[in-house]
Amino acid sequence: MSAVDHAKAIAKLMKVLRATYTPEPIVQREPIVELVYAFLLWDSTVAKSKTAMRRVEDAFVDMNELRVSRPAEVMGALGKTYPRLEERVLRMRETLRNLYKREHAVSLDAAAALSKRDARHYLETLEGITPFIAARVALVSLGSHAIPIEERLMGKLVAGGIFTEETPIDKAAGLLDRYIPAGEGIESHLLLQALSEDTGFDPATLSGKRRGTSRKRTTKTSKAKSSATKKTGARSGRSRSRAASS
């Protein structure tokens, strides 16, 4: 695909996603807490990661205690069914330790003081971190333009014809970074996260072969609307996917 083709495909993709999902606003966290949350969100779901984050905050006084805790303790807090549990915990421990080695503190204050480009590079070079996690923290907490992408999302973008099977994931991330405006970075990330979690995903919706007729999917329905629906006895079809706040 040419640069023009990529630009058109990505613009069309975002238009489809805006018509399909309504994510809730991003949750603002301290950068170091966002780093831990991003580890929990990587290759997981918003619902699971929010629950896991609450468990971490209940089990450990702060992120420094999380750093020095035994992996078994952290895995116990997350629960044995958490996706990629051992790898996730070991990677997070390695990153927090590397961060402490660099700064003598479990903090991203030093990264936040850098230029946006240097801050992203700082994150990307932390031991144990993944590109998705680094991009998420750079975007949400450090003001850098980055579009987080991991294998699950990449598979859906390939199935939908946005990229091909031969497209390396790092190139796909670079193309999303390039053709999604910086001011739309967080919105785009939330929409793509919703797509990645959509278990009823139809590739035809992204390829343009099927015209969308389903309702826009959202996470919350107002109590008034819910009450009115019950009174009239109307039933609404369950959404294939729910985009939660992340």
SS (H, E, C) 203-219: CHHHHCCCCCCCCCEEC
Q: For the segment 147-186, what is each residue's pLDDT rounded down to a tens digit?
A: 999 999 999 999 999 999 999 999 999 999 999 999 999 9
Report pLDDT for 230. Answer: 44
Instruction: Indicate the residue type of 211.
Output: R
Q: Say what the pTM is.
A: 0.85
Name the nearest CA neighbour of 102 among 79, 76, 129.
129
Tens of pLDDT, residue by residue over 103-133, are 999 999 999 999 999 999 999 999 999 999 9
CATH architecture of the domain 1-246 equals: Orthogonal Bundle (1.10)
User: What is the torsion angle, in degrees rounded to the nearest 10, for the CA atoms of residue 161, residue 182, residue 184 and residue 171?
Assistant: 20
Q: What Rg value do the Cα atoms of the chain yield, rounded?
A: 19
Maximum distance among all Cα pairs of the chain, rounded to whole angstroms: 62
